[in-house]
Structure 1
Amino acid sequence: MRCIDTTSTPGFFDVVGGTDRSQAATMVLAPGQSTGGPENAHAASDQWLYVVAGEGTATIAGDRVDLEPGVLVLVEPGETHEITNTGDDPLETVNVYAPPEY
């Protein structure tokens, strides 16, 4: 068993734990900041993105999803994706990759 405090991660993207089968990371986007884009895809990993705080959008394989606290989104292998903070506060997410991506 592992218990990780995700509230004290310092950067924009931090891998906070993992095993041979999966990996967890935190991500914080400043207002107006985006990550990913039309070429960004994970070849073999599912990415689960859970919104902790803030608001934004995810564009996944051309489809737009609104992000707000409590939303959980699955980005499947090969799907291009971009995450954008559209709010006035940081967009904070916890991301799980299976198998590990980073």
Structure 2
Amino acid sequence: LVEELGLELIVRNVQDSIDQGKVKEESGRYSSRNSLQTTTLLDAIEEFKFDACIGGARRDEEKARAKERIFSVRDDFGQWDERNQRPELFDMLNGQIELG
């Protein structure tokens, strides 16, 4: 479908970040790869100089994600501050972004 529409699909994997030594996989009963995803995502954003990304996250994995909106503005370090999250009511989406 991507080829048919003439689009480019960019995929990055946490396992590649582990193999490259950028992150270390946790071990143990309650280990998770969730925190490792940030490094992989930020590396891709830096590599391709994205202004915006479309992604998905399960709300049940992290309580704070339930507060996120359609647009989730991040700082230069990929951090999200829910206190600065503007409301998005009905069809009024906050689509303003800054460079980077």
Q: TM exceeds 0.5?
A: no
Task: Tell me which structure has the larger Cα radius of gyration.
Answer: 2
Higher strand share: 1
Higher relative contact order (CA 8 A, sep 6+): 1
Superposition TM-score, scaled by structure 2 size:
0.31
Q: Which has the higher helix share?
A: 2
